[in-house]
Amino acid sequence: MKIAFLTDPLTQFKTYKDSTYAMMVEAGKRGYAIYAFGPEDMALESGKVIANISRITLTGDSQDWFRLSEPESLALSAFDAVLQRKDPPFDMEYIYATYLLELAEQQGARVFNKPAAIRNHNEKLSIAQFSQFTAPTLVTRDEQRIRGFHKEHQDIILKPLDGMGGTGIFRIREDGMNLGSVIETLTVNGSRTIMVQRYIPEIVHGDKRILLIGGKVVPFALARIPQNGEVRGNLAAGGLGVAQELSVRDLEIAQTLAPELYQRGLLLVGLDVIGRNLTEVNVTSPTCFQEITQQKGFNVAGMFIDALETAIAA
């Protein structure tokens, strides 16, 4: 099997924690040929979606970890699977890439997650489709609505709809200090829509990442616990990752969403759950494979490649 990874530059990988790297290693162990390219390498030429793609040889060295062949201009349909693993920002270039990938699908490429499904599931807004599991939430650019939400709930979180890794998240407490400034900053003076949620105190126990693979639930979550007075548990914001078994509520949320999201073309999903509340549905490039594997011995990458093999054979 030939697997092409659409991803960020390989030189930026932190191999001790990168989930895409874990996927590559697992695929390599099974004897599959692995390749890599970036969005900038794609083109639509003479009606065909092609890319300058290099084959990867893994060295086994965690630092100097790969060798690349000279890139070849190849049709994406020449691969058994194309894995979309490009991190946000989810900007117009990201969307253009999904359009090209969707055209490639029409030409026979097998793309995971499906590009249309990625476009259709904003990682913040998608929780509104499962409101039975969410805390009180407001999506707006209107200052008065936000102020009214704060007046009702007193302690709130404000965040952009296109952020990742905890960037741009603010907490405003009962006194409302800096609320106006935060609204102006995040909405860019009313020109950008944001999300506002009631603060969930259980964040002190961690923002849990629950992985759904091939419509099934990984039996362990990674609780990302805020450190040093932070309100954000994201690992990129300095959170401490602690793998743990899923709670009854975690399972209720995950088992409800897993088959539905898989049917929509999402092979891999990362749910974020704080306390009893679903806060995000991550579909672009969900992570936390290695932390769960290292702490609990559960081969998440193995489960993923198993699911990929099943999807390709279907």
For position 230, what pLDDT does the model report? 80
* Angstrom distance (rounded) from CA 171 to CA 74: 48
Residues of the chain short of pLDDT 50, as ranges, are none
pTM value?
0.95
Q: Write out the two tokens for 117.
A: 């499904």
Q: Write out the two tokens for 213.
A: 């693979």
The per-residue pLDDT for range 237-277, each reduced to its tens digit, is: 788 999 999 999 999 999 999 999 999 999 999 999 999 99
* Angstrom distance (rounded) from CA 167 to CA 154: 22
Q: Of the residues 122, 232, 277, 291, which is catalytic?
A: 232
Residues 6+ positions from 189 with CB-CB distance below 8 Å: none
For position 28, what pLDDT does the model report? 97
Q: Write out the two tokens for 227.
A: 């450190």
Q: Of the residues 224, 250, 277, 291, which is catalytic?
A: 224
Active site residue 264: no
> Where does the chain show beta strands of DSSP type E?
2-7, 33-37, 42-45, 48-58, 66-68, 72-75, 81-85, 111-112, 137-140, 156-160, 170-172, 194-198, 207-213, 216-217, 220-225, 240-245, 268-274, 277-282
For position 2, what pLDDT does the model report? 98
Q: Of the residues 110, 124, 198, 208, which is catalytic?
A: 124
Active site residue 171: no
> Where does 108-219 show beta strands of DSSP type E?
111-112, 137-140, 156-160, 170-172, 194-198, 207-213, 216-217
* Angstrom distance (rounded) from CA 117 to CA 114: 5
For position 216, what pLDDT does the model report? 98
Of the candidates 9, 195, 160, the one whose C-alpha atom is nearest the C-alpha of residue 90 is 160
Active site residue 209: yes
For position 96, what pLDDT does the model report? 97
The per-residue pLDDT for range 192-230, each reduced to its tens digit, is: 999 999 999 999 999 999 999 999 999 999 999 988 878
Active site residue 309: no
For position 239, what pLDDT does the model report? 85
Active site residue 282: yes
For position 242, what pLDDT does the model report? 96
Q: Of the residues 86, 159, 198, 208, which is catalytic?
A: 159
For position 234, what pLDDT does the model report? 77
Of the candidates 63, 31, 59, 73, the one whose C-alpha atom is nearest the C-alpha of residue 309 is 31
| % of the chain beyond a pLDDT of 90 | 91
Q: Of the residues 114, 209, 277, 291, which is catalytic?
A: 209
Of the candidates 270, 280, 151, the one whose C-alpha atom is nearest the C-alpha of residue 218 is 270
Active site residue 29: no
